[in-house]
Amino acid sequence: MDDRESVVAELQNGIGWIKLNRPRALNSLNVDMVDTMNEQLKKWKLDDTVSLVCIYGEGEKGLCAGGDMRTLYDLKEKGIEAYANQFFSIEYELDYEIHHYPKPVVVFMDGIVMGGGVGLSIGASHRIVTESSKWAMPEMNIGFFPDVGASYFLNQMPGFVGKYLALTANVFQASDVLYIGAADYFIESKDWPKLKEEMMEKRWMPDSVDMELEQLLGAFRKSISLPSSISSVQDKIDHHFQFETIEEIISSLNEAARTGGEWADRTMKTLLSKSPTSLKVTLRQIQKGKGQSLQACFDMERSLAMNFMKSHDFYEGVRSVLVEKDRTPKWNPSKLDEVSELHVKSFFEQVC
């Protein structure tokens, strides 16, 4: 086995193991990785000796920090469209495959699970979080939009939580991830080696895999002591994020902030720090995704992703967060009222 491989796939005792193996890059995804995983899952789907699949990340920092956006930034002047089209097309195909996989898919969501990492886990059948899980759709921080099927799965969350998650890009812990329906089991991270060992030692058979997997994960499952921070502000989220425009959402938050609402003030400031273009496009994206099939949402997101490759704010966001890391992006347009309806619509123009 070559430790330098960015994805390590192994079959043992009926389990197809997929290890994301770029720990220095927080297992961020590139074309080779999504292509390897996609092809492997397709092979294992047809292999009767594979009863289940388990996906996890190498290193102590997390499953996956998302797509390798730095590579897209570096390709801005040379072949960005071809690479981006290949990356997003294969990544979304992979995520769709996981959503509809006919065999159990276990994903260990320890540490950082963001963006593309959420895409790998959200459609899996058995999603495990730990006390160190840090879950987010952080695309708004880099002038992008929440993709990997977010148009679909954010609309499945309680109340207007999906809209709130998309627009704020806030990071959430295990109790929140369970509350919003993005995870199924909580275990302590120290128990993962033992769980993995027991999974490896057992001979898994297709006819009994569902029952035996449920029993094994149930034996390691722990009750979570911390309450969900999202559940405690669900009423506030639903009140302020019910509106159909960013301006109305911010106005509602501002009104509450003026009367001493600390959460509203903090949330308003978070929104105002984001790209006005990303805010408006993302809100429209969530609205358009409501009631659509998963495939329709991925099709829309592919066009969005490719149109964002022509957007000033995407490159400025990546520069400020991942390249120069000064965290002072200069958005253009810089104000919400400067983002025209025509500009928002242009991001949804279909890309062949």
Residue 139 annotated among the catalytic residues of the structure: yes
Which one of 58, 68, 91, 147 is the catalytic residue? Answer: 147
What distance in Å separates the CA atoms of residue 81 and residue 48, rounded to the nearest whole number?
A: 38
Instruction: Give the model confidence (pLDDT) of 190-209 as tens digits.
Output: 999 999 999 999 999 999 99
Instruction: Give the model confidence (pLDDT) of 82-118 as tens digits.
Output: 999 999 999 999 999 999 999 999 999 999 999 999 9
What domains sit in the chain, N to C, each tagged with a CATH number?
7-220 (3.90.226.10), 229-346 (no CATH)
Q: Are strands 185-186 and 62-64 parallel, antiparallel or unpaired?
A: unpaired
Name the residue type at position 264: A
Residue 16 annotated among the catalytic residues of the structure: no
Residue 326 annotated among the catalytic residues of the structure: no
Instruction: Give the model confidence (pLDDT) of 38-78 as tens digits.
Output: 999 999 999 999 999 999 999 999 999 999 999 999 999 88
Which one of 62, 116, 119, 149 is the catalytic residue? Answer: 116
Residue 226 confidence (pLDDT): 82
Which one of 91, 95, 110, 139 is the catalytic residue? Answer: 139
Instruction: Give the model confidence (pLDDT) of 141-195 as tens digits.
Output: 999 999 999 999 999 999 999 999 999 999 999 999 999 999 999 999 999 999 9
Which DSSP category does 156 fall into? G
The model's confidence at residue 135, banded by pLDDT at 50, 70 and 90, is very high
Contact status, residue 182 vs residue 135, Cβ threshold 8 Å: yes
What distance in Å separates the CA atoms of residue 51 and residue 29, rounded to the nearest whole number?
A: 26
Buried b / exposed e over 332-344, threshold 16 CB at 10 Å, is ebeebeebeeeeb
The model's confidence at residue 3, banded by pLDDT at 50, 70 and 90, is very low
Residue 147 annotated among the catalytic residues of the structure: yes
For a pLDDT cut of 90, what percent of the chain falls above it? 96
Which one of 14, 16, 62, 67 is the catalytic residue? Answer: 67
